[in-house]
Amino acid sequence: MEDLIIIGAGPIGLACGIEAEKKGLSYTIIEKGMLVNSIYHYPQNMTFFSTSDRLEIGEIPFISHNPKPTRAEALEYYRRVTSTWNLNVKLYEGVVEFSRIKKGFTIKTTKNTYQTKNIVLATGFYDLPYKLNIPGEELEKVSHYYKESHPYFGMDIVVIGAANSAVDVALETYRKGAKSVTLVVREKQIGANVKYWARPDIVNRIEEGSIPAYFESSLVEIKPNSVVIQTSEETIEIPNDFVLAMTGYQPDFTLLESLGVGFNSDEFSTPKYNEKTMESSQPGVYLAGVVCGGLKTNKWFIENSRVHAKQIVSAISEA
């Protein structure tokens, strides 16, 4: 029986493994995908909002070529962290079932069965995009993820959203040769929390007409060669080859619910946990990282949730 099983090999899951190593606790990190799976699925040319030092874990320096590290640099860094600490990580191994036993839990995965005294859920939120729920969303031209600009060269693009991901996608596809890039935004303006170097850029492109934007508007239908937009004043239809719906993502509560973790009755469905120990309403089940914010996925980041690892492992080792 292990002292803890960590579900999720993102930066916070790795940080929990490092703290377990420091305390001499037995552990395994289980990940259904690849190492730092969410970061891998970020756009290829993405630059982090934070400086590299705020993304560091395990006392290993994160050296980047510029003050703001890139996705590629982050992938290299977390590979190096995992190798340096020789973390016990099991990749491409999804959790199938949990069950309580006398002194802990049994966890069945797609490859193994484990027994553990404690479970740490550090599962992130990048797997479930918020859907538009409109006719045509199932068409192949629609994507909730973005990798690179090349496929959209010479095409008419619609980007949905007003936060960082939508702004990055709009600017990059515009500059890499998309025939047209149109923003559709529910809000009245571009998000106030957009990266400080990107917000003036997108605002200027909108004001000069290079990137048309429909504010207080929404897509109501997606057709093979066009989209229908409902503005505050009228319904319009414009030519379209691809729709990039940068509408955000939500955490998968399946694992929490299967373990019986309780949720608060607030608008964000935040799970119940002790803020000092990070232990949930279920004894022996701990929460780390973005999952702690429920549907409010912009509350916890790598920078401010690295501390969860020390809180959790300290609580387990002192129990």
Output the six-digit token pair for 209: 């007409």
Type of residue numbered 73: E
Last residue of a domain, one of 227, 245, 263: 245
64 lies in the same domain as 212: no
Mean pLDDT, the chain cut into blocks of 10 residues (319 residues total): 97 98 98 94 87 94 92 96 98 95 95 97 84 96 94 98 92 97 95 89 96 97 98 96 92 87 90 96 96 85 93 94
pLDDT of residue 195: 87
Q: How far apart are CA 247 and CA 129, in angstroms?
A: 7
pLDDT number for residue 81 = 98
Q: Based on the fold, state whether residues 123 and 19 are members of the same structural domain.
A: yes
Q: Say whether both 8 and 96 belong to one domain.
A: yes
State whether 45 and 105 are in the same domain: yes
Both 209 and 255 in one domain: the answer is no
If asked whether residues 164 and 229 sit together in one domain, one would say yes
Domain containing residue 222: 131-245
pLDDT at res. 294: 87
C-alpha Rg value of the chain to the nearest Å? 21
Element (H, E) at 258: helix 254-258
Same domain, 208 and 258: no
The region, left, alpha or beta by phi > 0 then psi within -120 to 50, assigned to residue 172 is alpha
139 and 24 in contact (C-beta within 8 Å)?
no
Structure letter (DSSP) for residue 270 = P
The number of domains in the chain is: 2
- Written as one letter, the residue type at 111 is K
Strands 128-129 and 249-250: antiparallel
Instruction: State the CATH number of the domain containing residue 108.
Output: 3.50.50.60
Give yes or no: residues 20 and 136 share one domain: no
Tokens of 272: 């119940």
Residue 184 bridge partners (DSSP): 160, 214
Which residues sit opposite 156 in a β-bridge? 180
Q: Which of 188, 218, 245 represents a domain boundary (last residue)?
A: 245
Tokens of 169: 């996608």
- Tell me how crowded residue 313 is: count the other CB atoms within 10 A of its CB: 28
Report how far Cα 156 is from the mean position of its chain's Cα atoms: 27
114 and 162 assigned to the same domain: no
| CA dist., res. 202 & res. 224, Å (int) | 28
40 plus 106 within the same structural domain: yes
| Amino acid (1-letter code) at residue 183 | L
Q: For residue 17, what are the contacts with CB-CB under 8 A and spacing of at least 6? A: 6, 27, 29, 85, 87, 88, 89
Residue 58 near residue 15, CB atoms below 8 Å? yes
Six token digits for residue 314? 């300290």
Question: Of 226, 245, 264, which closes a domain?
Answer: 245
Q: For the beta carbon of residue 29, count every other beta carbon within 10 angstroms.
A: 26
Q: Which tokens go with 205?
A: 């492109």
How much is the pTM?
Answer: 0.86
Give yes or no: residues 236 and 292 share one domain. no
What pLDDT is stored for residue 319 in this prediction? 80
**For residues 150 and 64, what is the distance between their CA atoms, to the nearest angstrom?**
25
Are 254 and 111 contained in the same domain? Answer: yes
